[in-house]
């Protein structure tokens, strides 16, 4: 841990408590995400992984605690300051969350149209650059989200998330619902883009193959608490859920592959 | 909105300058080549003139920051120059930018997509054609659905045990009982308005008593039924589409089908029969409320007392007048339920489709209700009723 201690902290969560419907989802969580790393967040269904992501990007109000992103406390931001913050991160929602009444290229151009004043021709070029960066064929640009497969929708969603060259990329279950081959390709893509664009990636996932292929560190949400480590250190963890996750049949198969 | 991005990176502006040494051109770039600077760079770089040179060097040594848009601008310039037969070489590229430049250079082989511009004449023509084909197809499908529903209805009538009684009663409550307040209020208000406008016109002829005739015939023959049908189409027809459509999105329809249940019997018949029973009742109720509204206005505006109103009403409403209005109600009900359910089944498996088809169900059912009303009017006048 000493080698990462001097790295810049991009996301700093302190004492986060989230209570939903009388149920404590997060109990005084602390979490640091360092610049340029890929952090995977895992946990059982309903353990609050997605809620943690939503809290960090400001879609969910924490019950108490502070969340700092890029050195600024989210609770203090409003209006223009919040928009300035929002364009520094990109979010890929579970099923892409593309706008169904616009083509893929138009979806990618939405952030550009909203936050820049680029001429249309350049926006078309940028959209096609981003789409080819995420590995979509050029004819996908003119298609509507409903005409794409799940994997292509995720890639298109990723292209939109990257439209303004964000510093942080949030991924919510990027490989859920993809076949193993597409999932593996998506993992490689995320890793390559993360390196070439020097992104910090915060990824919520179930997929142990994705964890192995892409993440630098892993945060496990169990019993409203967080445990951080690498795959190697977490395999020896005494917590039964963590042990089962990394050393159970599926975990072992994926990690020894 | 545009201010946000520009303010953020105002400290380092992007720049480039050109120096010529013989037939070598040196393009030095520096500052922050990011998306917020791209507008300025785009215009001048697109027309970058390197004529007279055979070799261009792009010196990236002074770059503070570069993102994909900036990298694309440089790469595009390089490609344009190369297409003119000029050889281009980037120099002094910092190691940390290499991965980005490589990714873009490596991935972006395809020419930029030209998006079809909307609003051209062709596009409009295409939309009209598409719309027409869609409407015809919808009509065709609706007729097929009509046949299917009629077949199942007959089968159920012959075998009443198949009817889902609890669902039927629930639908009657939803479409009938719960619609009472809104139907009553609107009918009352329309009665008031109708009586007021009628009395205003008829007073000029000294025939204000005939306001009662206007009200009686107008409401019982046409308005009561239409009002009830239009409100039910908006309330319940749309609800049918939304309910069935949502079930389709969440694959519940598929689950019903593979469980060996008959979809029409489970989902359509309770709704159809429920609305066929309740709409005539609602029509009657609407008639009564409209007449009460009219009578109130007649008393306040013209001084016609309730006994005088009722007496005049009896002379106006003769023969078939009352039944003509009521006969139409089951037909309207059938149309509303048929369109509402049909649109529900037409929903595709995405959420925006539910909204689109719900709107379409309301528009289509109100349209068909009025068409049916016109057909009734012609038929009745032909029969001399």
Looking up residue A173, the CATH number of its domain turns out to be 3.40.50.300
Q: How far apart are CA B41 and CA B209, in angstroms?
A: 80
CB contact under 8 A, A138 and B110: yes
Q: Would the pLDDT of B385 be above 80?
A: no
What angle (nearest 5°) sits at the alpha carbon of residue A218, between those of residues A212 and A224? 135
Segments of chain B assigned to CATH 3.30.750.24? 12-107
CB contact under 8 A, A114 and B100: no
For residue B303, give both structure tokens: 């001084």
Closest approach of B280 to chain A, Cα-based (Å): 40
Nearest to A168 by CA among A97, A61, A112, A92: A92
Q: Which of B9, B38, B101 to mutate to test the interface with A (most CBs of A within 10 A)?
A: B38
Q: What is the pLDDT of residue B332?
A: 96
> Any idea which residue has 């406008």 for tokens?
B197
Task: Please state, rounded to an integer, the average pLDDT across all residues of chain B.
Answer: 86
B101-147 per-position pLDDT tens digit: 777 777 665 555 555 555 678 888 989 999 999 889 989 999 999 99
Cβ within 8 Å of B, A 230-249: none
Q: Are B57 and B24 in contact (CB under 8 A)?
A: yes
ipTM for the predicted complex comes to: 0.78
The DSSP code for A139 is G
Q: What is the pLDDT of residue B169?
A: 94
Of A116, A137, A146, the CB nearest to B2: A116
Closest residue of chain A to B115, computed from CA coordinates: A142
Of A117, A132, A162, the CB nearest to B39: A117
Nearest to B35 by CA among B88, B71, B75, B86: B71
Between B156 and B327, whose confidence is greater?
Answer: B327
Closest approach of B42 to chain A, Cα-based (Å): 7
The mean pLDDT of B302-316, rounded to a whole number, is: 91
Instruction: Give domain status of residue A12, yes or no.
Output: no
CB of A122 within 8 Å of a chain B CB? The answer is: yes
Of B8, B104, B113, the CB nearest to A141: B113
> Any idea which residue has 């406390």 for tokens?
A73
CB of A114 within 8 Å of a chain B CB? The answer is: yes
Q: What is the pLDDT of residue A1?
A: 40
Q: How far apart are CA B185 and CA B293, in angstroms?
A: 9
Least confident range of A14-18, B12-16, B178-182, B342-346 = B12-16
How many Cβ atoms sit within 10 Å of the Cβ of residue B231?
Answer: 17
Q: How many residues does chain A have?
A: 257
Q: How far apart are CA B74 and CA B33, in angstroms?
A: 9
CB contact under 8 A, B115 and A105: yes
The DSSP code for A60 is S
Nearest to B246 by CA among B330, B318, B351: B351
Residue numbers in B near A110 (CB within 8 A)? none
> Any idea which residue has 């409009």 for tokens?
B124
Residue numbers in B near A141 (CB within 8 A)? 113, 115
Q: Are B221 and B325 in contact (CB under 8 A)?
A: yes
Between A65 and B228, whose confidence is greater?
Answer: B228
Predicted TM-score (pTM) of this structure? 0.69
Of B1, B116, B352, the CB nearest to A114: B1
B154-201 per-position pLDDT tens digit: 888 888 887 888 999 999 999 999 999 999 999 999 999 999 999 988
Q: Are B14 and B34 in contact (CB under 8 A)?
A: yes
Of A84, A103, A128, the CB nearest to B4: A84
Q: pLDDT 10s per residue in chain A (257 long)?
A: 434 445 788 888 888 888 887 788 888 888 888 888 899 998 888 788 888 888 888 888 888 888 888 888 888 887 788 888 888 888 888 877 888 888 888 898 888 888 888 888 888 888 888 888 888 887 888 888 888 888 888 888 988 988 888 889 999 888 887 788 888 888 888 888 888 788 899 999 888 888 888 888 989 888 888 888 888 788 777 788 888 888 777 776 776 66
Q: Where in chain A does DSSP place strands (E)? A: 9-20, 23-34, 38-43, 64-69, 72-73, 89-92, 168-172, 200-204, 217-222, 225-229
Q: Could you tell me which residues are beta bridge partners of residue A23?
A: A20
> Any idea which residue has 């037409």 for tokens?
B346
Tell the burial category of A4 from Cβ atoms under 10 Å away from its Cβ (0-12, 13-18, 19+): middle
Q: Which of A194, A196, A199 to mutate to test the interface with B (most CBs of B within 10 A)?
A: A196
B51-60 per-position pLDDT tens digit: 777 888 888 8
Cβ within 8 Å of B, A 184-223: 192-193, 195-198
Residue A218 main-chain phi, psi, to 5 deg? -130, 135
Least confident range of A28-37, A209-218, B37-46, B364-373 = B37-46
Helix (H) or strand (E) holding B25: strand B24-33
CB contact under 8 A, A128 and B113: yes
Residues 6+ apart with CB under 8 A from B208: B199, B202, B302, B304
Q: What is the pLDDT of residue A3?
A: 44
Closest approach of B89 to chain A, Cα-based (Å): 20
Domain with A191 in it: 36-48+78-256
CB of A1 within 8 Å of a chain B CB? The answer is: no
Residue A206 to residues A44, A172, B328: CA-CA distances in angstroms? 8, 10, 58
CB contact under 8 A, A116 and B4: no
CB contact under 8 A, A125 and B112: yes
Instruction: Give domain status of residue A237, yes or no.
Output: yes
Residue B159 main-chain phi, psi, to 5 deg? -135, 70
Instruction: Give domain status of residue A5, yes or no.
Output: no
Instruction: Give domain status of residue A117, yes or no.
Output: yes
CB contact under 8 A, B113 and A122: no
For residue A218, give both structure tokens: 């892993």
Helix (H) or strand (E) holding B16: strand B15-21
CB contact under 8 A, B5 and A116: yes
Residue A26 main-chain phi, psi, to 5 deg? -125, 130
Residue numbers in A near B114 (CB within 8 A)? 124
The mean pLDDT of B293-311, rounded to a whole number, is: 92
DSSP SS3 for A119: coil
CB contact under 8 A, A146 and B350: yes
Residue numbers in B near A193 (CB within 8 A)? 103
Between A27 and B365, whose confidence is greater?
Answer: B365
Residue A166 main-chain phi, psi, to 5 deg? -70, 165
Query: What percentage of residues in chain A have a pLDDT greater than 70?
Result: 96
CB contact under 8 A, B72 and A129: yes
Cβ within 8 Å of B, A 5-34: none
What angle (nearest 5°) sits at the alpha carbon of residue B382, between those of residues B381 and B384? 60
Closest approach of A115 to chain B, Cα-based (Å): 5
DSSP SS3 for B65: strand
Residues 6+ apart with CB under 8 A from A16: A26, A28, A29, A30, A31, A52, A55, A62, A64, A65, A66, A67
Residue numbers in A near B36 (CB within 8 A)? 116
DSSP assignment string, B186-226? HHHHHHHHHHHHHHHHHHTTT-GGGHHHHHHHIIIIIIHHH
Half-sphere exposure of A35 (CA within 13 A, CB side): 11
Instruction: Give domain status of residue A188, yes or no.
Output: yes
Q: What is the pLDDT of residue B107?
A: 66
Distance of CA A151 to the CA centre of its chain: 16
Residue B152 gets the label, from left (phi > 0), alpha (psi -120 to 50) or beta, of alpha
Q: What is the pLDDT of residue B357?
A: 94
Closest approach of B57 to chain A, Cα-based (Å): 23
For residue B205, give both structure tokens: 């002829």
B56-90 per-position pLDDT tens digit: 888 888 888 888 888 888 888 888 888 888 888 88
Instruction: Give domain status of residue A223, yes or no.
Output: yes
Q: How many domains does chain A have?
A: 1
Instruction: Give domain status of residue A57, yes or no.
Output: no
The DSSP code for B382 is H
Instruction: Give domain status of residue A16, yes or no.
Output: no
CATH superfamily of B12-107: STAS domain (3.30.750.24)
Of B39, B100, B115, the CB nearest to A197: B100
Q: How far apart are CA A89 and CA A112, in angstroms?
A: 14
Tell the burial category of A34 from Cβ atoms under 10 Å away from its Cβ (0-12, 13-18, 19+): middle
Q: Are B360 and B353 in contact (CB under 8 A)?
A: no
DSSP SS3 for A25: strand
CB of A130 within 8 Å of a chain B CB? The answer is: yes
Interface size between A and B, measured as CB pairs under 8 A:
112
Q: Are B72 and B104 in contact (CB under 8 A)?
A: yes
Q: How far apart are CA A209 and CA A20, in angstroms?
A: 31
Q: Would the pLDDT of B11 be above 70?
A: no
CB contact under 8 A, A125 and B72: yes
């Amino acid at each position: 841990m000493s080698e990462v201690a001097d790295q810049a902290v991009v996301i700093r969560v302190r004492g986060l408590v989230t209570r939903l419907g009388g149920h404590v989802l997060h109990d005084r969580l602390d979490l640091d995400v360092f610049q340029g790393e890929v952090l995977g967040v895992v946990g059982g269904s309903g353990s609050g992984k997605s809620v943690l992501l939503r809290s960090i990007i400001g879609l969910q109000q924490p019950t108490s605690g502070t969340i700092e992103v890029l050195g600024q406390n989210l609770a203090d931001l409003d209006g223009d300051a919040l928009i300035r913050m929002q364009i520094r991160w990109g979010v890929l929602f579970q099923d892409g969350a593309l706008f169904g009444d616009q083509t893929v290229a138009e979806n990618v151009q939405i952030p550009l149209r909203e936050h820049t004043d680029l001429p249309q021709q350049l926006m078309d070029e940028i959209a096609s650059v981003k789409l080819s960066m995420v590995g979509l064929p050029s004819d996908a640009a003119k298609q509507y989200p409903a005409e794409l497969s799940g994997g292509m929708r995720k890639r298109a969603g990723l292209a939109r998330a990257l439209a303004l060259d964000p510093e942080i990329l949030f991924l919510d279950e990027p490989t859920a619902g993809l076949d193993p081959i597409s999932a593996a390709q998506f993992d490689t893509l995320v890793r390559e883009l993360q390196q070439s664009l020097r992104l910090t990636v915060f990824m919520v996932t179930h997929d142990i193959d994705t964890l192995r292929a892409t993440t630098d560190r892993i945060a496990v949400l169990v019993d409203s608490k967080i445990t951080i480590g690498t795959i190697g250190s977490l395999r020896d963890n005494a917590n039964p859920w963590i042990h089962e996750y990394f050393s159970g049949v599926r975990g072992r198969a994926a990690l020894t592959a | 909105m545009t201010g946000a991005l520009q303010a953020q990176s105002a400290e380092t502006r992007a720049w480039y300058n050109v120096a010529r040494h013989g037939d070598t051109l040196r393009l030095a770039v520096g500052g922050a080549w990011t998306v917020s600077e791209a507008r300025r760079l785009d215009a001048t770089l697109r027309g970058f003139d390197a004529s007279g040179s055979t070799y261009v060097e792009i010196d990236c040594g002074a770059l503070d920051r570069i993102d994909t848009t900036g990298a694309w601008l440089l790469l595009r310039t390089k490609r344009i120059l190369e297409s003119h037969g000029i050889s281009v070489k980037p120099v002094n590229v910092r190691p940390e930018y290499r991965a980005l430049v490589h990714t873009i250079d490596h991935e972006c082989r395809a020419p930029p997509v030209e998006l079809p511009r909307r609003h051209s004449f062709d596009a409009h023509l295409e939309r009209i054609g598409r719309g027409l084909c869609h409407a015809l197809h919808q009509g065709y499908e609706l007729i097929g659905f009509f046949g299917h529903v009629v077949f199942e209805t007959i089968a159920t009538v012959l075998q009443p045990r198949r009817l889902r009684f609890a669902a039927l009663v629930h639908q009657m409550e939803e479409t009938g009982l719960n619609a009472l307040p809104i139907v009553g209020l609107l009918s009352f208000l329309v009665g008031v308005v109708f009586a007021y406008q009628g009395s205003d016109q008829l007073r000029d002829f000294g025939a204000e008593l005939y306001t009662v005739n206007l009200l009686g015939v107008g409401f019982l023959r046409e308005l009561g039924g239409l009002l009830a049908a239009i409100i039910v189409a908006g309330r319940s027809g749309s609800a049918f589409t939304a309910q069935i459509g949502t079930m389709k999105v969440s694959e519940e329809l598929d689950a019903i089908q593979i469980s060996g249940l008959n979809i029409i019997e489970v989902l359509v018949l309770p709704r159809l029969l429920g609305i066929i029973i309740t709409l005539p009742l609602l029509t009657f109720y609407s008639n009564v409320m409209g007449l009460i509204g009219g009578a109130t206005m007649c008393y306040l505006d013209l001084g016609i007392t309730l006994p005088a109103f009722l007496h005049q009403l009896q002379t106006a409403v003769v023969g078939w007048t009352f039944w003509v209005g009521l006969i139409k109600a089951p037909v309207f009900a059938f149309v509303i339920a048929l369109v509402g359910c049909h649109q529900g089944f037409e929903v595709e498996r995405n959420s925006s489709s539910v909204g689109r088809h719900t709107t379409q169900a309301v528009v289509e059912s109100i349209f068909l209700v009025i068409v049916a009303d016109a057909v009734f009017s012609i038929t009745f006048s032909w029969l001399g009723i």
